[in-house]
């Protein structure tokens, strides 16, 4: 069972349900003296059950910051895997402290993800939900408790991939101190998010705007940048192409997305029906930082043009 935080139509990967349940169990036993929700009612009572209303987010942020410090000061040996079975332990416990133990599949601290998602929801003025990947209608907690002792089903339809970013780098062939690369006129990186999500953008452009003929209208972006590097002499062309792509995508509903050009029937199990017909393909693609992808893409291209350098797609 995999879980995500959901804010409107944005999804943020948490990871396995048993790990999240362990996090809540540990907070209760180690930081609340075993009295569930006595110190952190918004996190432990409201969000735990699957929904935190926007009006409680400020209080929840204060709670999660205190929880973070509490977990940082606890050794990993004090982990509580299951509050209903205090003798239960996972097979491997390897971390310096509890804060570093609870990480998702992308090696992000789950507590830091909590903080990020709470701030995003605050900015968007939206509620936060914990959803079961593959079945948004089911309450995650009820489903977890019902199936916790059953063998885990394979999740071959769930795709998790590495994160990627756009990168512009002025390489003089000399190895420098790390501080050298903090100069944005030397090095600039723009986090995109999941590689699968980026691939969906290219697939959608090809099918919806190029009639399925890859690179026929937008060669700089589709045939030069897509393999990994856009040479500096083609950056200006790519900026013009992206403007056309942005206009084209803005005329199409998000329901027209193509997740994989080689498997056009594939739909991520977490997608569901957003239920908002105002969402277009131009504003559906969101980076892992919560920004519109096409805007970040445009900014990266302009930076490459300004620096007179190639634009690269790199793994993080």
Reported as a single tens digit per residue, the pLDDT across 242-271 is 999 999 999 998 889 998 888 877 766 555
Confidence category of residue 13, pLDDT binned at 50, 70, 90: confident
Reported as a single tens digit per residue, the pLDDT across 83-99 is 988 888 887 777 779 99
Q: Average pLDDT over the chain, rounded to whole?
A: 84
Looking at the predicted structure, is the pLDDT value of residue 48 above 90?
A: yes
pLDDT of residue 248: 96
Distances (CA, A) of 108 to 13, 47, 63, 219, 303: 10, 19, 20, 36, 28
Please state the pTM of the whole predicted model: 0.55
Distances (CA, A) of 68 to 111, 127, 130, 144, 156: 7, 22, 19, 25, 33
């Amino acid at each position: 069972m995999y879980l995500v935080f959901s804010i409107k139509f944005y999804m943020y990967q948490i990871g396995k349900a048993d790990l999240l349940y362990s996090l809540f169990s540990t907070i209760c036993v180690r930081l609340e003296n075993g009295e569930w929700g006595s110190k952190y009612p918004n996190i432990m009572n409201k969000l735990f059950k699957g929904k935190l209303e926007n009006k409680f987010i400020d209080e929840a942020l204060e709670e999660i910051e205190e929880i973070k410090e509490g977990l940082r000061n606890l050794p990993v040996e004090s982990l509580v895997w299951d509050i209903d079975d205090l003798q239960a332990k996972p097979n491997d416990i390897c971390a310096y402290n509890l804060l570093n133990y609870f990480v998702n599949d992308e090696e992000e601290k789950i507590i830091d993800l909590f903080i990020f998602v709470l701030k995003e929801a605050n900015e968007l003025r939206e509620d936060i939900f914990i959803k079961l990947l593959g079945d948004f209608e089911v309450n995650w907690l009820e489903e977890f408790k019902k199936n916790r002792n059953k063998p885990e089903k394979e999740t071959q339809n769930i795709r998790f991939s590495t994160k990627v970013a756009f990168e512009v780098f002025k390489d003089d062939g000399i190895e420098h101190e790390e501080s050298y690369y903090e100069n944005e006129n030397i090095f600039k990186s723009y986090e995109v998010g999941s590689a699968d999500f980026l691939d969906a953008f290219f697939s959608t452009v090809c099918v919806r705007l190029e009639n399925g003929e890859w690179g026929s209208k937008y060669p700089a972006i589709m045939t030069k940048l897509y393999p990994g590097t856009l040479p500096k002499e083609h950056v200006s062309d790519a900026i013009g192409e992206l403007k056309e792509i942005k206009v084209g995508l803005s005329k199409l509903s998000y329901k027209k997305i193509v997740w994989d050009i080689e498997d056009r029937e594939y739909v991520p199990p977490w997608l569901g029906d957003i239920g908002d017909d105002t969402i277009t393909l131009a504003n559906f693609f969101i980076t892992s930082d919560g920004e519109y992808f096409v805007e970040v893409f445009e900014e990266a291209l302009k930076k490459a043009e300004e620096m007179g350098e190639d634009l690269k797609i790199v793994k993080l």
